[in-house]
Amino acid sequence: MTFTGFCSEGIALLGRIPAMSRSEFQDEKARYRDQLAEPAKVFVAAMLSELRSSVFPAIEGIPRTNGSIAPINNDLRFSPDKPPYKDHLLFRFW
């Protein structure tokens, strides 16, 4: 699958997520999955291929949450003053 970008509705949803309660997020979870999480997996796979071919052949990544994609929720045990959800997607490669 080819990464074609994140849709504008998904980007708008990302801006609203930090203000959501847990129950509100559960109501939007399918939309989050379809508009952000699934395209993020495609993005990671595409970036991994590009990074391997042009930067560092041994670079690694896993196109899934808790792999190369950080969870959308903040760990409130360490930062109780933060909102429960992030306002961004975080990707990591190693």
**DSSP sequence for 23-61:** HHHHHHHHHHIIIIIHHHHHHHHHHHHHHHHHT-TT---
What does pLDDT average to over the chain?
Answer: 97
Distance of CA 18 to the CA centre of its chain: 14
Cβ neighbours of residue 36 closer than 8 Å, sequence gap 6 or more: 6, 10, 13, 14, 72, 89
Every domain of the chain and the residues it spans: 1-94
Mean pLDDT of 71-92: 95
Q: How confident is the model at residue 1 (pLDDT cuts 50, 70, 90)?
A: confident
pTM: 0.91
Q: Which tens digit of pLDDT belongs to each residue from 22-59?
A: 999 999 999 999 999 999 999 999 999 999 999 999 99
